[in-house]
């Protein structure tokens, strides 16, 4: 076997580095993933690009769950695939325990891949129907035999079945012999096989019945505590994301537009897009529904191949003004909230961010202050 390069040796040393709970384990900086749009049959010419992920930055901390929400096509799965190294990034950095993983190859890349695993959306199509559950869960050991040497594999797979709440005797069954919830448990067991530190869950419960969703979410939470896992949890359903997440990031057309703790995002959203998404979440409590107004977003999500100038949300934003078309708002704590002891002081990419109580969480459904303090810059909805 070839001698490891200096970069590989350095990365392997980093892999061993313990990370304290709460420290960043993954740092994403200005990450971009553009898919080229080409024309022509024999000679292909690039005529543009789908900007699926366009300058996304965030930290994932050890032991936390970061929820990612946003409408279909906003780039959630692409972001996950780039972090998993299933797609190469167009630009930007991904730091794993402080080390840039771009350009890493060979053994070092294999080692990082081992530590970042994924659980996919559809338990019906993501499991090979011709393989037994034992082979599906044990497949990662073929690439990483050091985790479970050949003689120990059956026992390792049975232990994993037990950990995810399935009978270890089911090891020789096929995927079609399981229900949707059980299949997702198999997917989770496979994700855990290599003892990863990070699991990226891409809509892990969207394809399941509501009654089964809670069981799978509870299992994920239990496993997180047991193995000190860090999760990135992608979903459409804002209620589920709130239930499981410590922090939440909201994506729109390839960009993160707001990020904060679950309290900051759900009770003090300052970005109009987050406010619109939250206003559509059903509230079971009739008192909470009182005085609540649904914000209807006009039009469809624009094409990521040709995003609007300035703020990408402006074509659907009920607060848009001229400035929004010419100046792109950056994801930062709005100036007028900086230094204030308020949950509204979190990162939001809006020129006119204001704390609005969309779900009536602060009582009476009353809105927050006139955040930009100008007494009237915000236009009528
Ligand atoms: N391989 C690809 N080639 C070209 N465009 C792609 C490719 N993969 C994704 N896209 C485009 O990138 C954008 C983001 O897609 P992505 O699947 O990441 O969205 P998503 O937020 O996961 O959506 P959903 O909620 O429906 O799963 C979409 O416009 C999609 O059409
Ligand atoms: S910057 Fe303008 S268009 Fe964008 S979200 Fe804020 S108000 Fe709306
Ligand atoms: Mg997706």
Closest by CA to 112, choosing from 10, 11, 232, is: 11
pTM: 0.88
Distance CA 278, CA 352 (A): 18
User: Is 361's pLDDT higher than 60?
Assistant: no
pLDDT tens column, 123-140: 778 889 999 999 999 999
Distance CA 119, CA 220 (A): 11
What is the fold, at CATH topology level, of the domain defined by 21-36+49-245? Rossmann fold (3.40.50)
Of 46, 67, 73, the residue with max ligand 1 atoms within 8 A of its CB, to mutate for a pocket test, comes to 73
User: Is 373's pLDDT higher than 60?
Assistant: no
User: For the purposes of burial, counting CB atoms within 10 Å of the CB of 206, is it exposed (0-12), middle (13-18) or buried (19 or more)?
Assistant: middle
User: For the purposes of burial, counting CB atoms within 10 Å of the CB of 212, is it exposed (0-12), middle (13-18) or buried (19 or more)?
Assistant: middle
User: Average pLDDT, whole number, for the chain?
Assistant: 87
The environment of the single-atom ion ligand 3, i.e. residues with CB closer than 5 A, is 77
With cut-offs at 50, 70 and 90, classify the pLDDT of residue 375.
very low
More confident residue, 4 or 197: 197
**Ligand 1 atom, smallest distance to 121 CA:** 27
Report how far ligand 3's centroid is from the alpha carbon of 233 (Å).
11
List strand residue ranges (DSSP E) for 175-222, in order. 198-202
Q: Judge whether 128 and 186 are in contact, CB under 8 Å.
A: no
User: Is 110's pLDDT higher than 90?
Assistant: no
Q: Judge whether 70 and 54 are in contact, CB under 8 Å.
A: no
Q: What is the domain partition of the chain in residue ranges?
A: 21-36+49-245, 264-348
Q: Give the per-residue pLDDT at 257.
A: 98
| Residue 324 tokens, joined | 């929004």
Please indicate whether residue 324, judged by its CB atom, sits closer than 6 Å to ligand 2. Answer: yes
Q: Give the per-residue pLDDT at 206.
A: 87
Report how far ligand 3's centroid is from the alpha carbon of 66 (Å).
16
For the chain, the 3-state helix, strand and coil shares in percent, each to the nearest 5, are 35, 20, 45
User: Is 9's pLDDT higher than 50?
Assistant: yes
Give the SS3 label for residue 306. Answer: coil
Of 44, 51, 52, 84, the residue with max ligand 1 atoms within 8 A of its CB, to mutate for a pocket test, comes to 52
Of 67, 75, 90, the residue with max ligand 1 atoms within 8 A of its CB, to mutate for a pocket test, comes to 75
Report how far ligand 1's centroid is from the alpha carbon of 73 (Å).
5
Distance CA 214, CA 181 (A): 10
Q: Judge whether 271 and 89 are in contact, CB under 8 Å.
A: no
pLDDT tens column, 148-197: 988 899 999 999 999 999 999 999 999 999 999 999 999 999 999 999 99
- Give the pLDDT mean for 206-229: 92
C-alpha separations of 342 from 114, 268, 270, 368, 370 in Å? 40, 9, 12, 11, 14
More confident residue, 182 or 380: 182
Please indicate whether residue 75, judged by its CB atom, sits closer than 6 Å to ligand 2. Answer: no
Q: How many residues does the chain have?
A: 381
């Amino acid at each position: 076997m070839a001698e490891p390069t200096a970069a590989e040796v350095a990365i392997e040393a980093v892999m061993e580095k313990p990370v304290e709970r709460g420290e960043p384990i993954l740092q994403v900086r200005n990450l971009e993933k553009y898919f080229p749009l080409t024309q022509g049959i024999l000679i292909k010419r690039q005529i543009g690009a789908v900007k699926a992920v366009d300058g996304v930055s965030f930290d994932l901390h050890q032991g936390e769950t970061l929820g990612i929400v946003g409408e279909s096509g906003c780039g959630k799965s692409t972001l996950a695939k780039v972090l998993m190294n299933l797609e190469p990034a167009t630009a930007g950095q991904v730091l794993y325990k402080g080390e840039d993983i771009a350009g890493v190859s060979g053994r070092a890349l294999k080692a990082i891949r081992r530590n970042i695993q994924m659980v996919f959306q559809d338990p019906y199509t993501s499991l090979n129907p011709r393989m037994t559950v034992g082979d599906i869960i044990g497949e990662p050991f073929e690439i990483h035999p050091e985790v479970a040497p050949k003689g120990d594999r059956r026992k390792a797979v049975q232990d994993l079945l037990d950990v995810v709440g399935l009978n270890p005797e089911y090891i020789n069954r096929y995927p079609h012999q399981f229900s949707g919830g059980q299949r997702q448990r198999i997917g989770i067991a496979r994700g855990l096989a290599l003892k990863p530190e990070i699991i990226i869950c891409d809509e892990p419960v969207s394809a399941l019945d509501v009654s089964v969703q809670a069981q799978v979410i509870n299992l994920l939470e239990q496993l997180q505590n047991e193995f000190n896992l860090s999760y990135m949890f992608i979903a459409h359903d804002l209620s589920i994301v709130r239930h499981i997440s410590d922090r939440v990031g909201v994506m729109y057309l390839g960009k993160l537009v707001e990020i904060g703790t679950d309290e900051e995002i759900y009770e003090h959203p300052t970005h109009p897009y987050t406010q619109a998404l939250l206003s559509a979440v059903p509230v079971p409590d009739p008192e909470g529904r009182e005085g609540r107004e649904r914000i209807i977003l006009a039009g469809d999500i624009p094409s990521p191949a040709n995003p609007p100038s300035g703020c990408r949300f402006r074509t659907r934003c009920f607060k848009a003004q001229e400035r929004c078309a010419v100046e792109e708002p950056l994801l930062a704590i709005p100036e007028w909230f900086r230094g204030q002891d308020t949950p509204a002081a979190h990162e939001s990419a809006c020129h006119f961010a204001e704390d609005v109580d969309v779900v009536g969480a602060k009582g009476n459904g009353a809105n927050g202050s006139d955040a930009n303090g100008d007494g009237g810059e915000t236009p009528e909805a």
